[in-house]
Amino acid sequence: MIEHINEHLSEQSQLSAKRAYQIAVGKRQSIIGTPHVFLALVEHPDEILLQIFDDMSLDIERLKNETLDLIDLQGKAPFWKGKKYQILVTPFVKQAIEDAILLSRQLEENKASSAHIFWGVINSCVENRRDQIQLKMSQILKNNNLEPEKVLRLLKELSSLHKKDKSA
């Protein structure tokens, strides 16, 4: 388990994490799952993630709508004004973020970007279909031709291009 996760995340990744939290609270849900994180990343991508979307010719509006529909299926917590509540993160999200951090290290990046986390979420959904949400999220990904291997290949290509641009 990686301690002090924010130290390993880019500023954009941290903003996406906050957005995932806001999505869950806005939907009155007490659990942040992979769909919340995925939606936050799709809504507010970084530069590399935008390039991945473009290279894969993704229909972003379709992805947003399908993911929102899945989020809406999840139960709502009994919130009321002034009540303090705790928002939990699923083990799938934790694993996706840890995998993203490890990938960023393998690619010799300073911090895990939104694109790394995007890959981590997709990889988690495909590999861990043990509950209904993960299963449905993996179906959304499959229907949109989003496979971890494709995203990883593009991420590696874009990472090496980005490094060459910095060194030039």
CATH of the domain at 113: 1.10.1780.10
Lowest mean pLDDT among 2-11, 36-45, 104-113, 145-154: 2-11
Task: Tell me: pLDDT of 29 over 60.
Answer: yes
- Look up the pTM and report it: 0.89
Phi-psi region of 28 (alpha: psi -120 to 50; beta: other; left: phi over 0): left
Give a yes or no: residue 90 inside a domain: yes
Task: Tell me: pLDDT of 116 over 80.
Answer: yes
CB-count exposure of residue 108 (10 Å: 0-12, 13-18, 19+): exposed
d(CA 151, CA 21): 24
Q: What value does the mean pLDDT take over residues 60-83?
A: 84
Task: Tell me: pLDDT of 140 over 80.
Answer: yes
Mean pLDDT computed over every residue of the chain: 88
Matching residue, tokens 């906050």: 18
Give a yes or no: residue 1 inside a domain: no
Give a yes or no: residue 2 inside a domain: no
Total tally of structural domains belonging to the chain: 1
Work out the pLDDT band at 57, boundaries 50, 70, 90: very high
Task: Tell me: pLDDT of 168 over 50.
Answer: no
Task: Tell me: pLDDT of 16 over 70.
Answer: yes
Amino acid at 167: S
Q: What pLDDT does 164 receive?
A: 53
Give a yes or no: residue 153 inside a domain: yes
Give a yes or no: residue 66 inside a domain: yes
Q: What pLDDT does 96 receive?
A: 95
DSSP one-letter code for 75: P
Q: What pLDDT does 28 receive?
A: 85
Query: In a 3-state reduction of DSSP, which class is residue 168?
Result: coil
Q: What value does the mean pLDDT take over residues 3-14?
A: 82
Name the residue range of residue 145's domain.
Answer: 8-167
Give a yes or no: residue 3 inside a domain: no
How large is the angle between the packed helices 60-73 and 34-43, nearest 10 degrees?
Answer: 150
Q: What pLDDT does 65 receive?
A: 97
Question: What element of type H or E holds 46?
Answer: none
DSSP one-letter code for 30: S
Share of the chain above pLDDT 90, in %: 67
- The maximal CA–CA distance of the chain, rounded, in angstroms, is 55
Q: What value does the mean pLDDT take over residues 38-62?
A: 95
Task: Tell me: pLDDT of 104 over 90.
Answer: yes
